[in-house]
Amino acid sequence: MTRTVYVNGKYLPENEATVSIFDRGFLFADGIYEVTSVLDGKLIDFDGHARRLARSLGELGMRNPIETEDLLDVHRELVRANDIVEGLIYLQITRGAAADRDFAYPSEDTPPTIVLFTQNKPGLADSPMAKVGIKVISIEDQRWARRDIKTVQLLYPSMGKMMAKAAGCDDAWMVEDGAVTEGTSNNAYIVKGGKIITRHLSNDILHGITRAAVLRFAREAQMDVEERAFTVAEAQEADEAFFTSASAFVMPVVELDGAAIGTGTPGPVATRLREIYLDESRKVAI
């Protein structure tokens, strides 16, 4: 089946969808994105992603080309047209195509580019990885200083994934000034003595939509949460570790830089939080 994608107001077969070579997303990574998961054919945390999208646009002084209600319609139409039961929707908005390559932003009347496409991922919620946990390495965080904005500059995270692969691992946790910031495409957590510890919000990390929901569910379940930075050594000595993202939900981490974390198997807190997150998110999916 040819995938139907959305480009600048039109639904098109993927091989007919085009963007200008002068698009600033292509030339300058001058764009932002969101990834929203789909379970049971419904959108998970759509409102949170729409709010963060508006914030990212605002921080970069970029015009929002679409009202939230219309954006919801586009998401739903793509889910329908592509028959997505479990999967992801990728959304990207760039500052559009100027007439030429120029570092200065183009004039205000340059229309932003908006692209959405689906990724079909049957079995996303029942991931075999979640049952065994994943292995991570630590690497230096060499990204820019505004990681709170969800920009499409993902070269360093891609390099981090490749470094992890080369080390026989699944992902990398990035470290700055001795403390873990976050994973290449997820927020990082440890559990010690029953307490869930995750880095506090600032410009140093992306404000994960899954993070916000998971911390809310954890607090509602009377779990202890502490928002502060932690070191690699602390993580290696933790009882458990895990990460969260829209594409992996809650994912247990069982090894860091070759050292087993806890028993080296997914811990009870991560496993419980994954169940709660999936159950509660499904209930309010739209």
Q: Which residues here bind ligand PDD, judged by CB under 6 A?
A: 35, 182, 185-187, 206, 208-211, 244-247
Containing 118, the helix (H) or strand (E) segment is: strand 113-120
Distance CA 261, CA 170 (A): 15
Paired sense of beta strands 4-7 and 10-13, if any = antiparallel
Spatial CB neighbours of 60, under 8 Å, sequence gap ≥ 6: 30, 32, 95, 149, 151
Decide if 195 is catalytic.
no
Tell me how far, at minimum, the Cβ of 226 lies from ligand PDD, in Å: 19
Distance CA 124, CA 38 (A): 9
Single out the catalytic residue among 150, 161, 165, 192.
150
- Tell me which DSSP letter residue 278 carries: H
CA angle 39, 32, 213 (to 5 degrees): 40
Tell me how far, at minimum, the Cβ of 78 lies from ligand PDD, in Å: 17
Residue closer to ligand PDD, measured from CB, 160 or 262: 160
Tell me how far, at minimum, the Cβ of 129 lies from ligand PDD, in Å: 15
Distances (CA, A) of 190 to 120, 177, 211: 30, 18, 13
Residue closer to ligand PDD, measured from CB, 237 or 275: 275
Tell me how far, at minimum, the Cβ of 183 lies from ligand PDD, in Å: 6
Residue closer to ligand PDD, measured from CB, 182 or 255: 182
Structure tokens at 279: 């159950």
Q: With 0-12 CB in 10 A as exposed, 13-18 as middle and 19+ as buried, what is 53?
A: buried
Edge to edge, the sheet with strand 87-94 lists 10-13, 4-7, 113-120, 87-94, 31-39, 42-43
Residue closer to ligand PDD, measured from CB, 138 or 247: 247
Residue closer to ligand PDD, measured from CB, 82 or 244: 244
Tell me how far, at minimum, the Cβ of 150 lies from ligand PDD, in Å: 7
Q: With 0-12 CB in 10 A as exposed, 13-18 as middle and 19+ as buried, what is 196?
A: buried
So which residues are the catalytic ones? 150
